Structure 1
Amino acid sequence: MNTTLPLSRPSTLLRRHLLKLHRRFCVEPNPQPLTPPQDDEQKITQAVQLLLETPHPEWTSSQPLQSLLFSSPPLPPRFILKITRSLPSYRQAFDFFKHLRQNSPFLDTQVLSHSFQALLEQAGRGPDAASRLPELYRASKEWEVPLTVNAAALLIRYFGRLQMVDNSILVFDELDPSLKNTHVRNVLFDVLLRDGRVDSALNVLDEMLQPLSEIPPNDVTGDIVFYALTKAGRKGRALSDEEFIKLVLQFGKHSVFPKTNWLAQLVSSLCRRGKLIQAWDFLHELLTLGAPLESSLFNVLLSGLGRRGEIKRMNVVLAEMKEYDIRPDVVTLGILINQLCKLRRVDNAMEVFNKMCEGTESDGVSVGVDIVILNTLIDGLCKVGEQEEGLHFMERMKSTKGFVPNTVTYNCLIDGFCKVGEIERGIELFERMKEEGVSPNTITVNTLVDGMCRHGRINSALEFFRDMQGKGEKGNAVTYTTLITAFSNADNFGKVVDLFDEMLTSGCSADAVVYYSLISGFCRAGRMDDAGNVYSKLKAAGFHPDIVCYNSLISGFCKKRKIDKAYEIVKDMEEAGVKPDIVTFNTLIAYFCKVGDFTLALRVMKQMTREGFTPTVTTYGALIHGYCLNGKLDDARKIFDDMSSTAKIPPNTVIYNILIESMCKVNDVKVALSLMDDMKTKGVKPNTATYNAMLKGLKENHLLEEAFILMDSMIENNCRPNYVTMEILTGWLSTVGESEKLKSFVQGHKVSALTA
């Protein structure tokens, strides 16, 4: 198994560094004007002051103002922009722009364009922006004032903010192609994507993403597009994984890559949908494009591969990471070790761990080992039954690495020993962790309680829990559920009721599993009053019984012949929207057959078929058993024949036993023997109950030779006699002087060959 960790290569790191420098110092599409020298700033301040001090109608006649604005050489456009921008109101800025237009013969067109840009800024910030901006845009075309790049961007952005996106598109469409640079397009993308117009944005973007595009995207383009497309709750349609991958790779060909968290969303989505190969191919293509990928992206892919158990592919990913100088971190190695442990390949996990600890600058990367990885390995060893090795590993890490075990460490070890029944070792570790100052928690208590209960030490489990309660550890619903289930299985329902009441009064919220366990236990024990009480509490607690819970109650009430109660449960089921299943129908059919109400039994059977359920061998068995109990053997035989011929359901041993026993009870031994022959023909194996019923019938009819043949058949079929068999045969064979044959039969020898 290849587990060598990657080592960085200077050439790739240098390439990435140069790429970052290129992006940092690339020319902005609309660089801000340089700060004017001090004397220039004074001219701007002086111009603004004159404009504010001089009434608007007197601007033209103000010699100082005219000289300053229309001096020779003329003021640069950026001066005019700053003057317009510095005026305190839109109205004053508009008047100033008109004043400049009136003197346009003396001004460069660019001067007007820059003043108009500042005028747009003033209008966009005002309360009347929605009416002023469209008017100004129309006026600019009438006045033949060309827009600057920044003015175009401002209009597009302002219209977008005002929810006038069609105006933003109109401005862009009517722009001179020379102005449709990357910056302007970025603003348009932002407006379109915020408004949910994904396809329109992609159409504009498509021209930029062409391989030889003269207007390539930049990092700002990427940030706008990928932020908008990955934002939760955004407007517009979602891109498919394939569309997103194509878009990322197109950007990548221009050395523009999404941020790591956006890429992680895409890789996670692919992995969740089982598209692991596609996720890997995508990352591989990004690597070939020179994307500066981080280990966290590969951690997502490794987790997905690990869940599928594809360890070989995980190794391939690690090798690729090494080739492209992507250093694994502690999470990377933790994922690999965790997945190996989950697959019970702890030896491979230990191999990875050892290489991680031994890594040097010459053969890999030494990654710091954390407590999570160490606990994962200890838990993995315990899960495969190597708890002793897990304990030794903990000791070795303490002495060589200064590892300080925590509560999780001890919980893993205690669980390992308890699982194999070494409860005393688990208790020893429990005492040891307290001596070392490691505090046990509820999981520690639950682990020991569960281990004791699983291995029959229920009273010890309860005693241990009581001791922990005295020390402040109250336990939780899991603790009580474990104890309740254990005492329920041991039919100690007094303890069950006490623990259940204690759990509710202690503030532990019982979950549905606790209620189901209690109801099942009470029904099994025939304590239907208690079962009904718990059922009422379950509903009061807001839980909804499942079909298994309903069936337990219906079966319990039927066994107690409380059919009215059973009907109440069926009614509750219907009101709760839970449909009866085949078990529900079979339970009711069996009840009606036992009490001899075959009309109702057949009616339930018809309803069952209407609900889409096919009668099973259990259904037919209930009918046959009912007919036999009520002495209707002919009807029982008819059902038996129908299930084989019409329903094509082969009878099982239980059904044969019911018929054989019933035939023997009416001394129809010949039919009973024929049924045993039929079993042999159909490959249905008889059991001890079959032979006991048949031997009892033969005894009643004094058919000794047939009994000997049957005893030989028991030996041939490895069907051991029980106390019922011996009770039938002992008195009979002793009376007729065949005690030797009985002795031979008990020893497992054939008896028909012996001389009487």
Structure 2
Amino acid sequence: MRCSLRHAGRVGTRFHPCRKFLSSSYLSTVQALSLPQELSSFEPDYRFSLQNPESTLLWLRRWMQECAKGGNLVEAFSTLRLMEPSVLDYNALLHCYLKSGRASLDELVRIFEGMKRFGPHPNVWTFNTLYNGLWKMGYLEDACYILEEMCTYKLSPSFAALDRLVKKSVRLSSYELAFRVLELMLKFDYLPSLPVLNTLISGLIKGGKIPEAYNIYSVLMNKGLIPNVYTYNAILFGLCKSGQSYTALSLFCRLRKKGFCHNVYSYTSLILGFCKEGLWEEAYRVLEQMHCEGYMPSVVTYTIIIKFLCKNKKIDDALGLFKTVGKVGCRPDLTLYNVLLHALCCCNRMSDARELVHTMQDEGLLPDHFTHSALAAGLLKAGYIRSCQNLLHKIFSGSDLVDVVTWNIYFHSLCCAGKAREALTMISNMVEKGFIPSTVTYNTILKGFCQEENIDEALEILDHFPWGETGPDLISFNTVLSAACKQRDSSIIRRVLYRMDFQGVKLDVVSMTCLVYYFCKSGKFVECFKLIEHMISDGHKPTIVTYNAILDSLCKKGLLTDAYRLFQEFKNMGVSPDTSSYNILIHASVKKADYLSVKSLFVNMCKQGLVPDAITFSSLTYGLCKECNVSTALHLEEQMLEHGVIPSISYYNTTMDAMFRMGKLWDVFLILLKMEIEGIEPNGISFKIFNRALAKGGKKQYPKAMKILDILLSKEGASFW
């Protein structure tokens, strides 16, 4: 670790008035030492003869100290002028002044700078006196500066002084200052106590300074400090949290070889890291190792695994693991139920969600507002707007203590239903009754207006919302900017960018990706790539979303060769194609009837470990049906289910359309029956397909069959109409 010395010119607060007063402090000192007249309040004690200079000097020192104790520095300095002061006299003055309870930081700066410039030069007692006084006054940064200055005089701060300062810094969560003090301690080979070190490392990790925390740990281990489990658990957690799971595993193994004991939290940290990076085999191996070594995984351990399984759409695996939790003697808590419940709702597995709620209640766990919020948010994400609102209405009617998060879900549901204006009116009425909206509340309304393509109103709302101290954030501006870019409204784009510049809000990767999308949609590919170059030079690494926007535009403009060339360059650009990248090229290749490329892309996609989604299968179904290969399209359903994709109404509409064109009405009838069994209702497109078949003479050719299909469609679509 670099144990750098921090001089006065590099310090930024409080004693840093040393910089501020550098040009004037010595003048103040000179003025105090060179008063043009005798002290008006100084009355010499004639018991001391001028012929007895030692007695007079003793009396002057006592008087100077009394003045300093009273906080009267002018009087103290005037008395000091009458003697030939030594560094001990200055030390006594500082000590008494600090004891007065009226000490001023600025005055302390002036005295200290005066001593440095004109003498007598500070000694070890000067530094210790100033340090102790500043430490007691709570000026920790300035106390640290004094100790650093002490080093420039080739004096060594005591361990006690540094230890007190680092402890107080850690206690006040001033981790950067504690890090500075620790650097100073290491310069003199002082080692902090384990409780202080553990708190410092935890604080740095919470603040995202994981490399610094690991660096401190490594240096201290090399200097002979013996850590405890709390020390290295914090490091393991920090490394795993920052995507360095294998580094954490290496540290874990080294510690075990050295004889250090691990606990449940050590293993849980590794599981967190591996799950976060999608390394499931390693995560399960660690879980198995816990059991083998006699460590019982906690409910937190299982919650982490299940949470990341759900995040990666491995719902069945999550449910399977959940069922084993109780069997191994670990009782699931409400948090675990809420995580799983939210995931089930988001994946439209409502029957499983209902069963889970019943299980939770059977276990004696009562749903809390997180449960309700998870359920409502899941219903909304799955597209069940009405069900979401009905649930929230029950929550509102049953409790007056509904938090802003739950209300935000309700406002979002209104916006999803095209009722952004109603949501805005409701918020205004609630604010009058004491409701305090969050920034998320206002951003939800902004998004609602943008989805309804009322961008002018959204920008007006952005300007007139009572945002409070936080003000509109980057998400607020990006919401309006994204909508303006999609509509290619250059006027609104300029207004948003001007407002961001005025507010001092800098564009991020999302903002620039929106602009890339705008240039692509406008066919301005030269400007688009110039913006990409600017992003990179400005330190913003374009994401796969950025490149997918370009890829999509190239395909839609018919520039498929250029799109493939860009796709091949992804690795050189430091990004990996995702499922969306493959979907864009598969869809474009299907439209070009380039089925050889489609097959190659699909195989390559699976080799890369990417999971095909509903859009992938929708494109494949469209291509097969376009070639009248309906039987193969129907076999795709098995593959969809294998990949956890539930066939949607879009899939059935595509196959039905092909069947109508081929005159396979019996197959259409079977598809409609299957849809009814699966609970999938026909939508507007379904009826358009049927009406088109009627218009093309289907009713004359197959009158009875078309009548049956009409009855069946009308029955299934009753709720639609």
- Higher RCO (CA 8 Å, separation ≥ 6 residues): 1
TM-score, length-scaled by structure 2? 0.42
TM-score, length-scaled by structure 1? 0.40
